[in-house]
Amino acid sequence: MDTEKTKSELALYGGPLAVTLAGHDRWQRIPVEAAKRRIGELLDEEIITIANGGGVIGEFERAFREMIGTKFALCMNSGTATLHSAYVAAGVKPGTEVLLPSYTWHATVTPVLHCSAMPVFCDIEPDTLVIDPADVERKVTRRTRAICVVHTWGNVVDMDPIMAIAETHGLTVIEDASHAHGASYKGRPVGGIGHIGCFSLQGQKAVTGGEAGVAVTNDPELLDRMILLGHFGRITNGEGKRTFDHLGDMGLGTKYRAHPFAIALALETLEMLPELNEGRTRCYAILNNALRDIEGIEVIDPREGTKRGGYLEFKFKVARNIAKRLNMDRLEEAFQAEGAPITRDRYSTTNFTYGLIHRSPLFTSFDRRTLGGCFYDPVSYQGPPVAPPSLPVTEDVCTRLFGCYAFVDVAEEFLLQMAEAMRKVMTSLDQLS
């Protein structure tokens, strides 16, 4: 028997596994006992809702705004709610446009429709997977009202040119930092650089309440407008500028208040964020460095002067020439057969929740005029078909991205075995062909 040939044979075809160690650690840290105690205290006091921003809600808002370095923080029931509130606060309305990436979670985009405005999709940078400021500048028009940048997978947007564009054209900058808890740009925490920062606290996020969100800002009027939209009970309690006292506590009727139980959990996970980010940064660096010299794999490094945080997932790219000649599903199967928990980023004709949103039927073939409410701008939207914009980098990158858990505390040897599994597959592509 040819031992060397046996060693190099892909596990997919009967060869030995490259990954022999267990490495599926608890990539999300849930402080169960501490959360139980805190929620139990609320139940003992029969506190099951908080309308005035006090108690555990106020405690979390204080801690979060101190971490980000802003004057205000506002808890909500989801990251989607924070984005909708931010667009409303920024004056996004019929006849206006919001510049944003297509490579993001769909909830970055769809709240723009709730404002009867138009999302304008911008391309991304191939090395960081985040919005390209040069394409943002190209797409500013007299209708542009806001720019929403997304710190995708904890990778930080180049904020200086974004803020310069906004200042030149009088635009509001909204940071979707849902993946980037604890990340920073030139020493400044993300979320506090633009005019409004939006954070999801959903179950898979670094800081989590299960389902919750928090928005931050330094502008008291923007805070007032966000409160007005969805926070009955907080308009007249002395926050912000109290711009809307004349409306009393009626507000605009949207219910975006956070549940105190969710924020109790979020407060406990917030305390663990430095430890979690330290673990994820360590694991990411080990795996990234081990992949760096494998032919056919392109790693994603942090932008110079930035510090990643949150992460959500680890990502890498397969080289373009390989993606063109190989079935990516087969490549995924080969990675997994070696024992490496690697999955391919998928985009199909039915699932546009993440990435390539500009090609979704919602923006190309579905007639939004058939919906009730205010889901289209009657000035600019004339109905389908709508040709998707040309976003060559986004469309290229989305076909060749792979990822895995953002590990927190696994053995270095396991991560090196994962890299060896990928090396083994990438040097045996002829077997897959």
Q: Got the DSSP string for 85-101?
A: HHHHHTT--TT-EEEEE
Q: Would you name the residues annotated as active-site residues?
A: 205
Predicted confidence at residue 14, as pLDDT, reads 93
Q: Of 407, 410, 424, 402, which is closest to residue 339 (Cα–Cα)?
A: 424
The residue type found at 76 is M
CA distances from 58 to 24, 32, 49, 431 (A): 36, 21, 13, 59
Decide: helix, strand or coil at residue 296.
coil
Tokens 């990539």 correspond to: 27
Q: What is the pLDDT of residue 11?
A: 96
182 shares a domain with 280: no
Cα separation, 309 vs 341, in Å, equals 22
How far is C-alpha 35 from the geometric centre of its chain's CA atoms?
25
Domain span holding position 421: 16-30+273-347+399-432
Of 271, 304, 324, at which residue does a domain stop?
Answer: 271
**pLDDT score recorded for residue 368:** 95
Same domain, yes or no: 266 and 312: no
Nearest to 261 by CA among 52, 37, 100: 37
Instruction: Indicate if 232 and 197 belong to the same structural domain.
Output: yes
Q: How many CB atoms lie within 10 A of CB 8?
A: 14
Whole-number pLDDT of residue 268: 97
Same-domain status, 265 and 290: no
Mutual orientation of helices 55-68 and 260-271 as an angle, nearest 10°? Answer: 40
Say yes or no: 226 and 243 in one domain.
yes
Amino acid making up residue 66? E
Do 413 and 279 belong to one domain? Answer: yes
* Contact yes or no for 400/320 (Cβ under 8 A): yes
Give start and end residues of each alpha helix (H) in 170-297: 220-230, 260-271, 273-291
Same domain, 222 and 313: no
The verdict on whether omega for the bond into residue 385 sits within 30 degrees of 0, i.e. cis, is yes
Tokens at 245, concatenated: 């006292």
Q: Tell whether 9 is covered by a domain.
A: no
Predicted TM-score (pTM) of the model is: 0.95
CA–CA separation, 344 vs 369, rounded Å?
A: 35
Q: Is residue 1 a part of any domain in this protein?
A: no
Q: Say yes or no: 198 and 309 in one domain.
A: no
394 falls within a domain: no
Provide the CATH number for the domain around residue 285.
3.90.1150.10
Domain boundary among 245, 271, 297: 271
Angle at 189 between CA 148 and CA 174, to 5 degrees: 15
How many distinct structural domains can be found in the chain?
2
Same-domain pairing of 267 and 322: no
Looking at the domain assignment, is residue 226 inside a domain? Answer: yes
The pLDDT, as a whole number, for residue 1 is 47
* The residue count for the chain: 433
Cβ partners under 8 Å of residue 5, min gap 6: none
Q: Is 369 in a helix, a strand, or coil? A: helix
Enumerate residue ranges in the chain where pLDDT < 50. 1
What phi and psi, each to the nearest 5 degrees, are found at residue 174?
-115, 125
36 and 112 co-located in one domain? yes
Closest CA to 227 of 213, 211, 215: 215
Give domain status of residue 111, yes or no. yes
Domain boundary among 250, 271, 292: 271
pLDDT number for residue 380: 85
CATH of the domain at 255: 3.40.640.10
Residue 20 lies in a domain: yes
383 assigned to some structural domain: no
pLDDT number for residue 3? 55
Q: Establish if 171 belongs to a structural domain.
A: yes
Task: Give, in order, the Cα–Cα distances in Å from 378 to each of 94, 139, 188.
Answer: 7, 21, 40
Residue 246 and residue 307 share a domain: no
3-state secondary structure of 206: coil
Domain identity same for 205 and 245 = yes
432's CB contacts (< 8 A; 6+ apart) are: 10, 12, 326, 327, 330, 331, 334, 425
